[in-house]
Chains A and B, each alone.
Chain A
Amino acid sequence: MPLKACFCMATVTVQKERTPEREVAQNKVCIVLSKGSLDMVYPAFMIGNTAATMGSEVHIFFTFWGLSVLNKKKVGSLKISPVGNPGMPMPNILGMIPGMTRVATWMLKGKMKKIKMPSIPEMIATSKDLGVHLHACSTTMSMDIIGFPKEELIPEAEDIIGAATFLQLSQGATTLFI
């Protein structure tokens, strides 16, 4: 017993010493979401929510078109654009025909429903339940067309912050830009 046991114990000790360092480095995930189309919003919540279940502190910073997600009036009707999206199963030029965005969105939503994918509002509710922090970008809030009054923020939005606050939050974190 002695030799083998000692060897094992030594190995275990080395691993234990390394673990805390790794945990600190991996324990925070920050996502900048700058787009409001479904193919951008879903991955942000899929990765963010999963990271939260794995024990990470998660922050999502909604800026530019990503801010629509935090808008009460828009969150339920996010779309996918067939224009500039070569992965769509149709010639790209057809995407410019009026109404095609609606058709593409309807098709995508149908496919997602078939595999029982949760809606974006459901993903938001789950994220809140998991403790994910949702931040609105202050500059975008004040912009014409994309921006909107504070009263239209969904209740799940935590605060309105700027770049410096986000950089402070994301220090040492794994940061993704979508």
Chain B
Amino acid sequence: MSAVANRKMVDSRGSFCPGPITDLFKAYRAANIGDEIEVWATDPAAKSDITAWAARSGNEIVEATQEKDYLRIVVKILKKGR
């Protein structure tokens, strides 16, 4: 059994497109394969944008939960590009 994944929090609440994506990307650059990045966002486009980003960059959405006033979405890093 592997240890609990290293999870990094990105609070992007209040920022609009492409804010959540650039915030996520900055965390992604510092992350290692196997890490998880949890993004909090209020931008209505965040869910579809982050899903598209993950599909393109070869990473995986492991959780997407709509909390009361923000979206919580967890990306598992499977691939590192540049």
Q: Does A115 contact B (CB under 8 A)?
A: yes
Contacts known (A46-B17, A131-B82); A54 close to B22, Cβ less than 8 A:
no
Contacts known (A49-B22, A130-B25); A54 close to B53, Cβ less than 8 A:
yes
Query: Quick check: B22 and A55 within 8 Å, CB to CB?
Result: no
Query: Quick check: B57 and A54 within 8 Å, CB to CB?
Result: yes
Query: Quick check: A53 and B21 within 8 Å, CB to CB?
Result: yes
| A152–B15 alpha-carbon span in the complex (Å) | 32
Q: Does A174 contact B (CB under 8 A)?
A: no
Contact of A53 among B14, B16, B25 (CB under 8 A): B25
> Which B positions have Cβ atoms within 8 angstroms of A?
14-19, 21-22, 24-25, 49, 52-53, 56-57, 81-82
Which 7 A-B pairs give the minimum distances between C-beta atoms?
A53-B25, A50-B18, A54-B56, A55-B81, A53-B21, A46-B18, A115-B16
